[in-house]
């Protein structure tokens, strides 16, 4: 139920859409998939109810979509196939099913995603394709099945294997999170963090105070693999493989019983891959593109994001320095012990 001020703000946002050119209107239709009001509400919520800021965010998003041909990104396969497979092996992300309220559940292997087997463009393209498949296909189908609007999803983030070397991945992770923050606002209801090692805890301690309260409320750091808490919101067969047993992590193999959701052979990735191949045949590109030449411009990060990244980098550097000192002390102790023996 919208309050009076929210209702007025939505009217102003609708007036903005009515006044934009046809290409932006068409892209807005692709975005809202029959739910224009809920889409406007997402942008308004992301800008704390400030209609001017929400309008700017929406306009920037529509321009970004048109300039980068996002509406047809689902007709642009990542080719050749071995490059696609390399992306899947090093950008661990998949969908495990739907929660008890009908929202899609996505699993992300944050700690073991290397982002080191393809170009940054490919990882950004892959991430946006998953976003668009979620928004253009999965969520509209879920809404129809559920009989009411389903807009956000749930994400379970596995931190298994997270190390100080994560510093090397900050650039690509920042690109992806900036795309999400500025162009897909309020699409994730809750982020569940599981299997969190010390490195995550140290980073979370310094980043948490920098986040807006609205963002902080969405992040739940669960104990261990998070199984018991996650079972309150999803059935066992929807649990990501790394949350089914303590210590299972984002490993590629799951005792041979099930295909993990990161694999190109998982039903989600098979459906997504086939959908993109089919769309590539149906949708004729405006201009021919060379294989492997697709590029998306990543918007500039906002001030809050920049501060968070700088703080993260600084924390990881400090942890690295501490680790180096500890290793040095350990080596001194070992050498000292040996010298005493001789």
Average pLDDT, the chain: 85
Does 78-282 match 4-67 at the fold level?
A: no
Calculate the CA dihedral of residues 121, 126, 130, 133 and round it to 10 degrees.
90
Residues 298-311: what's their mean pLDDT?
65
**What is the spatial distance between Cα 18 and Cα 29, in angstroms, rounded to a whole number?**
12
The predicted structure's pLDDT at residue 219: 92
Cα-only R_g, the chain: 22
171 pLDDT band, cuts 50/70/90, is confident
DSSP three-state, residue 112: coil
| pLDDT over threshold 90, residue 52 | yes
212 pLDDT band, cuts 50/70/90, is confident
Task: Pick the range with the lowest mean pLDDT from 28-32, 72-76, 261-265, 291-295.
Answer: 291-295
Q: Domain 4-67 maps to which CATH number in 3.40.50, 1.20.1070, 1.10.8, 1.10.760?
A: 1.10.8
By C-alpha distance, which of 228, 223, 132 is closest to 180? 132
23 pLDDT band, cuts 50/70/90, is very high
78-282 folds as: Phosphatidylinositol Transfer Protein Sec14p (3.40.525)
The more confident residue out of 286 and 19 is: 19
| pLDDT over threshold 90, residue 185 | yes
Would the CA dihedral through 218, 169, 63, 212 be positive or negative? positive
338 pLDDT band, cuts 50/70/90, is very low
The predicted structure's pLDDT at residue 125: 96
Q: Three-state SS across 183-247? A: HCCCCEEEEEEECCCHHHHHHHHHHHHHCCHHHHCCEEECCCCCHHHHCCCCCHHHCCHHHCCCC
CA angle, residues 81, 85, 90, in degrees to nearest 5? 150
**What is the spatial distance between Cα 6 and Cα 116, in angstroms, rounded to a whole number?**
44
| pLDDT over threshold 60, residue 342 | no
Q: Where are the domains of the chain?
A: 4-67, 78-282
pLDDT in tens, 234-247: 999 999 999 998 76
| pLDDT over threshold 90, residue 138 | yes
| pLDDT over threshold 90, residue 279 | yes
Residues 109-126: what's their mean pLDDT?
94
119 pLDDT band, cuts 50/70/90, is very high
| pLDDT over threshold 70, residue 329 | no
| pLDDT over threshold 50, residue 70 | yes
84 pLDDT band, cuts 50/70/90, is very high
The predicted structure's pLDDT at residue 164: 75
Task: Pick the range with the lowest mean pLDDT from 48-52, 63-67, 307-311, 336-340.
Answer: 336-340
293 pLDDT band, cuts 50/70/90, is low
Residues 211-218: what's their mean pLDDT?
84
| pLDDT over threshold 80, residue 310 | no
| pLDDT over threshold 60, residue 252 | no
The more confident residue out of 206 and 321 is: 206
Q: Could you tell me the two tokens for 122?
A: 């490919």
């Amino acid at each position: 139920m919208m309050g009076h001020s929210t209702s007025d703000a939505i009217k102003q946002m609708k007036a903005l859409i009515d006044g934009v050119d046809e290409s932006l209107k068409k892209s807005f239709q692709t975005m809202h998939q029959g739910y224009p009001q809920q889409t406007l509400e997402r942008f308004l919520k992301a800008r704390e109810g400030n209609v001017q800021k929400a309008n700017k965010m929406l306009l920037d998003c529509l321009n970004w979509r048109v300039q980068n041909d996002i509406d047809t990104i689902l007709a642009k396969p990542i080719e050749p196939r071995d490059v696609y497979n390399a992306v899947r092996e090093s950008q661990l992300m998949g969908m495990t099913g739907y929660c008890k309220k009908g929202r899609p559940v996505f699993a992300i292997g944050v700690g073991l995603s290397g982002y080191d087997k393809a170009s940054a463009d490919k990882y950004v393209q892959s991430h946006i394709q998953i976003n668009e498949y979620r928004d253009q296909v999965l969520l509209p189908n879920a809404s129809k099945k559920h009989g009411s609007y389903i807009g956000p999803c749930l994400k379970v983030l596995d931190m298994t294997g997270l190390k100080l070397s994560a510093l090397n991945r900050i650039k690509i992770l920042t690109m992806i999170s900036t795309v999400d923050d500025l162009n897909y606002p309020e699409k994730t209801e809750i982020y569940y963090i599981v299997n969190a090692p010390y490195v995550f805890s140290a980073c979370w301690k310094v980043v948490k105070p920098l986040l807006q309260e609205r963002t902080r409320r969405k992040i739940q750091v669960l104990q261990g693999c998070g199984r018991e808490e996650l079972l309150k919101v999803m059935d066992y067969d929807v649990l990501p493989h790394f949350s089914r047993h303590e210590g299972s992590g984002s490993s590629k193999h799951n005792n041979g019983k099930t295909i993990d959701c990161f694999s190109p052979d998982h039903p989600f990735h098979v459906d997504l891959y086939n959908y993109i191949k089919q769309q590539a045949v149906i949708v004729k590109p405006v201009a021919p593109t060379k294989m492997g030449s697709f590029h998306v411009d990543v918007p500039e990060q906002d001030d809050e994001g920049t501060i968070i990244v700088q703080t993260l980098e600084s924390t990881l550097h400090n942890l690295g320095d501490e680790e180096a000192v500890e290793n040095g002390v350990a080596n001194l102790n070992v050498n000292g012990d040996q010298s005493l023996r001789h």
